[in-house]
């Protein structure tokens, strides 16, 4: 599970480049096939290292494609209600506690190989859903072309004073779609309608082929530059967001993994401990939707909400060792689920507000890469603390401190804004 989770974050920069080249729809379909293929190949596994690749690497990489594409597309589809739409889109993640009993049911019914094949079949439904990710800018461009064509035909030939003027008015602009998707500066080939046949014959055809080869070479070189692009490291808002994102992801998985284990050390029945996870998942889902709606009211800036939720999560985890009975542990679970759902719903809206002129794809991709380190190292650190202290109190203290530290960077947002304004 840990490898799958960190695999969803580590490939962020690579996903951003592939998304720019292939587009969101194709990238999402590719991610769906990676997840499906990982589950199907895992049904033939004969060793643990084999499963580390097929159950960890492939589904993790596919999940990175799916998650980042969904996040970027959401920012393109929604502007006014971005926080609420993001909360609704990711609210299902709070219900993942249902996967454990569902997986057990499938294993009891079909064995583990059959369960993996069924999971692959379920993941294959992501392909048609990915095909629904239509780029919204295409409609605008087509409508603009149609309007231009209709206006020209409505004027008729008598509207042109000379043949030269008509040729200049009715010229069509051909843009290379590859460079446009890749974010390269578009180079237009202006071809007048009266000269189109002449243009595509003879030496001009070879010239076009040579030009297309040059453009594809530019796409490859552009991709390499994007992979090693360090321009974001000069953006103070990138450091503010990445610091918070990294530490909050480091803190989030510790209580998630150790909640039931701590309940068992307190002598709480395993069935009662499972209720804690169910309550946390449901409340986190509801909290995300409410938090998204409140943030969209724009009473204050979104990062203020985000910062407040992080501080409350930190305080809640620092007080968690005081919960030594089931009612107190349930109280902790309720508070943490509400506050965690609140800040999780605002990660993407806050990113959009902070990235300014930078593309969301690159900003999120690079920040996710560093967050992947936290996801990978968080649970092992918490486990080491338990081995060293023989109590889970240290793990919750560590989580609380990380949450408080993650909120610190947002106090520097006004300073970064003043610095940016002074430079511009």
Question: Which DSSP string do the residues of 99-123 spell out, in sequence order?
Answer: HHHHHHHHHHHHHHHHHHHHHHHHH
Domain harbouring 308, CATH code: 1.20.1250.20
Token couple for 39:
């589950």
Q: Percent of the chain beyond pLDDT 90?
A: 20
Tell me phi and psi for residue 190, to 5 degrees.
-90, 115
Structural domain includes residue 148: no
Q: Which residues, at least 6 apart from 140, have a Cβ–Cβ distance to it below 8 Å?
A: none
Q: Note whether 9 and 371 are within 8 A (CB).
A: yes
* Higher per-residue pLDDT: 93 or 400: 400
What is the number of helices (H) and of strands (E) in the chain? 21, 2
Rounded to 5 degrees, what are φ and ψ at 21?
A: -80, -50
Burial class (CB in 10 A: 0-12, 13-18, 19+), 320: buried
Retrieve residue 81's tokens. Answer: 């209600």
Contact 393, 321 (CB under 8 A): yes
Q: Is 166 a domain residue?
A: no
Among candidates 353, 361, 424, 324, which has minimal Cα distance to 65? Answer: 361
Can you give the residue range of the structural domain that contains 246?
1-134+232-422
Average pLDDT for residues 102-117, to the nearest whole number?
Answer: 87
Q: Is the pLDDT of residue 115 over 70?
A: yes
Q: What separation in angstroms does the CA of 422 have from each of 409, 415, 417, 419? A: 20, 11, 9, 5
What distance in Å separates the CA atoms of residue 237 and residue 239, rounded to the nearest whole number? Answer: 5
Continuous segment of H or E residues that includes residue 211? helix 203-227
The answer to whether residue 220 sits within a structural domain is no
The dihedral through the CA atoms of 31, 36, 37, 39 has a sign that is positive
Q: Which pLDDT band, with edges at 50, 70 and 90, does 227 fall under?
A: low
> Which residues make Cβ contacts (< 8 Å) with residue 65, sequence separation at least 6?
11, 15, 18, 27, 28, 30, 31, 34
Looking at the domain assignment, is residue 146 inside a domain?
A: no
The pairing of strands 189-191 and 172-174 is antiparallel
Q: How far apart are CA 285 and CA 19, in angstroms?
A: 28
Q: How far apart are alpha carbons 157 and 177 in whole angstroms? A: 31
Q: Is the pLDDT of residue 217 over 70?
A: no
- Bridge partners (DSSP) of residue 191 are 172
Residue 179 lies in a domain: no
256 Cβ contact partners less than 8 Å away, ≥ 6 residues apart: none
Q: Read off the tokens for 343.
A: 């800040």
Q: What residues contact 93, with CB distance under 8 A and at least 6 apart? A: 344
Residue whose tokens read 């965690």: 340
Residue 173 has pLDDT above 80, yes or no: no
Strand partners, 189: 174
Q: How many CB atoms lie within 10 A of CB 65?
A: 28
pTM comes to 0.73
pLDDT at 213 over 80: no
How far is it, in rounded angstroms, from Cα 221 to Cα 215?
10
Helix (H, G, I), strand (E, B) or coil at 176: coil
Residue 343 has pLDDT above 50, yes or no: yes
Whether residue 414 contacts residue 300, with contact meaning beta carbons closer than 8 Å, is answered with: no
Least confident of 87-101, 122-136, 275-289: 87-101
- Number of domain units in the chain: 1
Q: For 173, list phi and psi in degrees, rounded to 5.
A: -100, 120
In a domain, 370, yes or no: yes
**158: in domain:** no
| Nearest-angstrom CA–CA distance, 327 and 335 | 12
Q: Is residue 225 part of a domain?
A: no
**Average pLDDT of the chain to the nearest whole number:** 76
Least confident of 224-233, 277-286, 330-339: 224-233
pLDDT number for residue 212? 52
Distance (Å) of CA 256 to CA 8, 96, 101, 148: 17, 12, 17, 57
pLDDT of residue 141: 41
pLDDT of residue 191 exceeding 70: no
Asked if residues 201 and 223 have their Cβ atoms less than 8 Å apart, the reply is no
Q: Look at residues 385, 93, 379 and name the one whose alpha carbon lies nearest to residue 254.
A: 379
135 CB-side CA count, 13 A: 15
């Amino acid at each position: 599970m840990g490898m799958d989770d960190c695999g969803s974050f580590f490939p962020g920069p690579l996903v951003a480049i592939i998304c720019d080249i292939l587009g969101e729809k194709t990238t999402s379909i590719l991610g769906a096939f990676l997840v499906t293929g990982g589950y199907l190949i895992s049904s033939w596994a004969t060793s643990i290292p084999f499963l580390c690749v097929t159950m960890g690497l492939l589904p993790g990489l596919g999940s990175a494609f799916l998650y980042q594409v969904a996040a970027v597309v959401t920012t393109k589809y929604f502007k006014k209600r971005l926080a609420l739409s993001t909360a609704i889109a990711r609210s299902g993640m709070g219900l993942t506690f249902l996967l454990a009993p569902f997986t057990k049911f499938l294993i009891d019914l079909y064995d583990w190989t059959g369960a993996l094949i069924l999971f692959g079949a379920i993941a294959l439904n992501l392909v048609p859903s990915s095909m629904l990710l239509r780029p919204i800018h295409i409609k605008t461009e087509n409508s603009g072309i149609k309007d231009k064509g209709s206006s020209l035909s409505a004027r008729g030939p008598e509207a042109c004073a000379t043949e030269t003027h008509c040729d200049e008015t009715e010229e069509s602009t051909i843009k290379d779609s590859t460079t446009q998707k890749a974010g390269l500066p578009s180079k237009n080939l202006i071809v007048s309608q009266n000269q189109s046949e002449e243009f595509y014959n003879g030496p001009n055809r070879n010239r076009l082929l040579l030009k297309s080869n040059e453009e594809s070479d530019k796409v490859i070189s552009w991709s390499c530059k994007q992979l090693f692009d360090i321009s974001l490291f000069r953006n103070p808002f990138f450091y503010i967001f990445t610091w918070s994102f990294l530490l909050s992801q480091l803190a989030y998985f510790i209580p998630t993994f150790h909640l039931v284990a701590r309940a068992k050390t307190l002598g709480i029945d395993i069935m009662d401990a499972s209720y804690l996870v169910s309550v946390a998942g449901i409340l986190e889902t509801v909290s995300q939707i409410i938090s998204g709606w409140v943030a969209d009211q724009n009473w204050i800036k979104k990062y203020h909400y985000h910062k407040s939720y992080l501080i409350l999560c930190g305080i809640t985890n620092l007080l968690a060792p005081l919960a030594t009975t089931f009612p107190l542990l349930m109280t902790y679970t309720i508070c943490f689920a509400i506050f965690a759902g609140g800040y999780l719903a605002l990660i993407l809206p806050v990113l959009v507000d902070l990235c300014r002129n930078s593309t969301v794809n690159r900003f999120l991709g690079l920040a996710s890469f560093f967050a992947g380190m936290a996801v990978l190292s968080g649970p092992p650190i918490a486990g080491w603390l338990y081995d060293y202290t023989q109590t889970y109190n240290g793990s919750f203290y560590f989580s609380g401190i990380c949450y408080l530290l993650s909120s610190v960077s947002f106090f520097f947002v006004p300073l970064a804004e003043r610095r940016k304004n002074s430079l511009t």
